[in-house]
Amino acid sequence: MVFSRIDWYNYRKHHEYPIPITIMEGYMHEKSIELLNKAVKDELQATHQYMYFHFHCDDQGFDLLAGLFKRTAIEEMGHVEDLAERILFLGGEVEMETAGPTEMIHDVEAMLVKARAMEESSIKDYNRWANECSANNDAISKQLFETLVGDEERHYNQYDDEVRNIEKYGDRYLALQSIERSRNTAAGAAAE
C-alpha cells in the first residue's frame, strides 16, 4: 500500500498510531542519511586536521608522528567513502562539508591531545548513532557505525600512547625522533 501526500494528511487527521509502514520506512532512511552525513562531516574534519598535523610534524622533523597522522588521515578518508556508499544506497546525497574548521596547532603535544579528543568524540557519537539506526531497523548502517567505532578506538589508543610517551619522557622522546631522521638521512647519503 502506497500513501500519497493527501492520503497521509487525511490519515494523520484521524489516526495518531500506527504510522503506515511505507511512511515509516521513508522516515527511517531519512534519519539514517542524516546521521551518516553528520559522520561524513566529522570524518572530513578529521582528515583535514590530521593532514595539517602531518605537514607540521614533518616540517619539525618528527617522522614517526608525521607518518602516524598521515596514515590515520588516509583511514578517515576511507571512512568517508564507506559512509558515502551507504548514503547513496539509501537514496541520499553526500554532503561534502567539514564539521568545523582546521585548528592551526603547531605544538606536538597539543596536536596529539586534540586528535585524541576528536577520536573520543567520534566514539561516543558513533555508538549513539549505531543504537539509533538499530532502533530504526537499519541493521547495515548500525553495522557500519559499529565498524567505525572499532577503528576510532584504535586511533584513540595510538594517540593516547603518544601523549603518554611525551608526558613520561618529555622533550627527550621528540629529540629521539629528530635523531632518527638525521640517522636515516645520513644512511641514505652514505648508500648513494
Binding residues vs Fe ion (CB under 5 A): 43, 76, 79, 119, 152, 155
Closest distance to Fe ion from the beta carbon of 47 (Å): 8
Closest distance to Fe ion from the beta carbon of 108 (Å): 18
Residue nearest Fe ion, Cβ-based: 155
Task: Tell me the torsion sign for CA atoms 121, 123, 71, 79.
Answer: negative
What's the one-letter identity of residue 72? T
Closest distance to Fe ion from the beta carbon of 8 (Å): 37
Phi and psi (nearest 5°) for 116? Answer: -65, -40
Closest distance to Fe ion from the beta carbon of 34 (Å): 18
Q: Closer to Fe ion by CB, 154 or 164: give it.
A: 154
Q: Closer to Fe ion by CB, 62 or 159: give it.
A: 159
Asked if 119 contacts 156 with a C-beta cutoff of 8 angstroms, the reply is yes
Q: Closer to Fe ion by CB, 48 or 181: give it.
A: 48
Distance CA 11, CA 121 (A): 41
Cα-based torsion angle of the residue sequence 136, 130, 144, 80 in order, rounded to the nearest 10 degrees: 110
Q: Closer to Fe ion by CB, 86 or 155: give it.
A: 155
